[in-house]
Amino acid sequence: MTSPRTRRLAVLASGQGTNLRALLEAPDLGGSIVVVLSDRPDAGALAIAREHGVAAEALDAGRGRLTGTAEAAWLERLARADVDTILLAGFMRILDARFLAAYPGRILNIHPSLLPAFPGTHSIARAREHGVRVTGCTVHLVDAGVDEGPILDQTAVAVHADDTLESLTARMHSAEHALYARAVRAFLTRPFTLEGRRVTWQ
Ligand code: GRF
């Protein structure tokens, strides 16, 4: 009997890379991060990947949505790394239909709010300014919408009356780090069904 193939993961990140670090350091992710790509040569995520001995590259992403020849170069790099699952971790580009079709149902994203509340940017600040008592983080499958795909897992984070944006952001980041590793592990190791947009773990 042959053992199942180890999942080969790519992480796409634009920023400092704290979620990437949490994924790289998770004890049992259920797969191996083989490449980290960024649209920003100065992204902290690239340095974190190299620190961990993982191939890391900045690729041109053109302007706005990732399309055209830039998109083709990203897809070619991912194919060359023989990746089967893509993890977005603070990736600030929108993927279009061609990219989604290359990895159907196999692109995950983490978002710092309890979706469908506060999609888009500055979600932590917007939740705090809105006066919510509970916010949180969501890991979801990526579809053609922005922060709209089926929810794989969520975790709640209380907003304290004396929270500053900094204190809330710090708590949100720790919650994200635990959630993303847990959700990726579940996605890679546990069967689930998808009915409409409802994910049920078996
Ligand atoms: C995280 O809050 C993530 O949810 C959002 O962008 C941020 C990235 O942070 N999509 P980091 O680069 O992982 O530190």
pLDDT bin (cut points 50, 70, 90) of residue 5 is confident
Atom of ligand 1 nearest to the CA of 88: 10
The residues lining ligand 1, judged by C-beta closer than 6 Å to any ligand atom, are 13, 15-20, 89-90, 110-112, 176
Q: How far is the CA of 70 from the centre of ligand 1 (A)?
A: 23
**Residue count (the chain):** 202
- Indicate which atom in ligand 1 lies nearest the CA of residue 112: 4
* C-alpha 92 – ligand 1 centre gap (Å): 9
Average pLDDT over residues 155-168: 98
pLDDT for 4:
64
In this prediction, residues 76-87 reach a mean pLDDT of 98
| Segment 147-157 mean pLDDT | 97
pLDDT tens digit sequence for 96-139:
999 999 999 999 999 999 999 999 999 999 999 999 999 999 99
Ligand 1 centroid–CA 196 distance in Å is: 27
Place of tokens 């008592």: 133
- pLDDT, residue 188, reads 97
pLDDT mean over 6-28? 96
Q: Is 21 left (phi over 0), alpha (psi -120 to 50) or beta?
A: alpha
Q: Where are the beta strands (DSSP E) in 13-111?
A: 31-38, 55-58, 85-88, 107-111
Could you give the CA distance from residue 90 to residue 18 in angstroms, rounded to a whole number? 9
Q: So which residues are the catalytic ones?
A: 111
Nearest-angstrom CA–CA distance, 24 and 106: 19
Complete DSSP assignment for 134-187? EEEEEEEE--SSSS-SPEEEEEEEEPPTT--HHHHHHHHHHHHHHHHHHHHHHH
Q: Is the predicted pLDDT of residue 2 greater than 60, yes or no? A: no
Q: What percent of the chain clears pLDDT 90, i.e. is strictly above it?
A: 94
Atom of ligand 1 nearest to the CA of 173: 2
